[in-house]
Amino acid sequence: MVSRFFEEAMESIYMEGKTPVFNMAEGPIPGEMHLSNGQEPCAVGVIAHLTAGDIVTATHRPHHQAIAKGVDLDKMAAEIFGKKTGLSGGRGGHMHIFDADVNFACSGIIGQGMGPAVGAALSRKMRGEDGVAVAFLGEGAVNQGAFHESLNLASVWKLPVIFVVEDNAWGISVSKKQSTAVEHNAVRAQAYNMPGRFIADNDPIALFDVAGVAIEAARAGHGPTLIEVETYRLAGHFMGDAEDYRPEGEIDGLKAKDPILVMKKRLINDGLLTEDQHTALSDKAKARVDAAITFARESDFPAPEEALEKVFV
């Protein structure tokens, strides 16, 4: 819920200064903005098994993964606003969320978080230290060389790494059907001699169970797993995306399957949550996000010449 409130805040703040004329360069949050509304289960179902010491590499759409991993929310919001108090003092922005304290790194380039995840897993294996690396990617990334090279390398070296494909069915405007030769990317795991698992219908509980087995196997030295999650991108690829490529009615259909609402209903039906408890949790999450946004808004911009620092260490 923190993630969803965060994205809703991003959605509204992003449009500040961008109406009536949309100009990506304007407003308190300029640049591209890729929201993860609807894809929260992919992050939560996997990262719930991880500790701060485990490694996550994320994508150009990283907010839900970062929040699940425990990236400092204040500093992350400030980074997205380009403020001095941001994770990297404003040098990275929304597609480059890095938090060394919780071993979280990003790449805005499709598929390019995978190599570093393999390397971090190699590092832990070589040092004999506990640690699993999880590389998140979209279904569009599976047609990149990096995907195939990384799966092969992780398997050959039996590394503790999990590859999680968030299949939202769309690579910007090109559908998976148009771009991908197999119906389920999980089958590609066979080519690299590792388990491949498919999670239908954005189900966080099913994912949690499968990820638990995969992560336990990785920690025990049994090597990598590929997990494919059927998920739903409730927003455009980026803010300002007119989404003309979607078939009519698709978004309404997806909104009916909004995983936050589905999960709430499921927990209440199962007697695990009451309306009051839900309201309390929701209020708490909202307050956390509000505090982060306030922190970001009130923080100062970096001195422009700080841009020249931190190229090398």
Partner 1 sequence: MENERKLTIARAMAEATAQEMRRDNSVFVMGEDIGQLGGVYGNTRGLWKEFGPERVRDTPISETAFIGAAVGAAQDGMRPVVELMFVDFFGVCMDAIYNLMAKNIYFSGGKFKVPMVLMTSVGGGYSDGGQHSQCLYGTFAHLPGMKVICPSNAYDAKGMMIEAIRDDSPVVYMYHKGLQGMGWLGTESGATVHTPSEDYTVPFGKAKVVREGGDVTLVGIGMSVHDSLKAAEKLESQGVSAEVVDLRSLVPLDRDTVFNSVAKTGRLIVVDEDYKSFGLTGEIITTIAERDISVLKASPQRVAYPDIPIPFSRPMERFALPNPDKIVAAYNEMN
143 touches partner 1 by CB under 8 A: no
Query: Which of 46, 118, 137, 296: binder of partner 1 (CB under 8 A)?
Result: 118
Size of the site for partner 1 (CB under 8 A): 45
66 touches partner 1 by CB under 8 A: no
Which residues, 6+ apart, have CB-to-CB distance to 80 below 8 Å?
10, 29, 86, 93, 94, 296
Which residues, 6+ apart, have CB-to-CB distance to 245 below 8 Å?
170, 173, 174, 175
Query: Which of 55, 132, 226, 254: binder of partner 1 (CB under 8 A)?
Result: 55
Strand, helix or coil at 177? helix
Which listed range, 10-18, 25-33, 142-150, 220-228, lies at the site for partner 1 (CB under 8 A)?
142-150
Query: C-beta of 290: minimal distance to partner 1 in Å?
Result: 25
Give the footprint of partner 1 on residues 88-107 (CB under 8 A). 88-89, 91-92, 96, 98-100, 103, 105-107
173 touches partner 1 by CB under 8 A: no
Nearer to partner 1, 242 or 313 (CB): 313
To the query of whether residue 245 is one of the catalytic residues in this protein, the response is yes
To the query of whether residue 233 is one of the catalytic residues in this protein, the response is yes
Contact 8, 27 (CB under 8 A): no
CA-based nearest residue to 198, from 261, 154, 217, 188: 188
209 touches partner 1 by CB under 8 A: no
CA-based nearest residue to 281, from 264, 256, 258: 264
CB atoms closer than 10 angstroms to residue 40: 27
d(CA 71, CA 102): 6
Strand, helix or coil at 100? helix
β-bridge partners, 106? 58
Catalytic residue among 4, 188, 237, 246: 237
Query: Which of 1, 66, 120, 226: binder of partner 1 (CB under 8 A)?
Result: 120
The residues binding partner 1 (CB under 8 A) are 55, 57, 86-89, 91-92, 96, 98-100, 103, 105-107, 109, 112, 114-124, 126-127, 133, 145-146, 149-150, 152-153, 156-157, 309-313
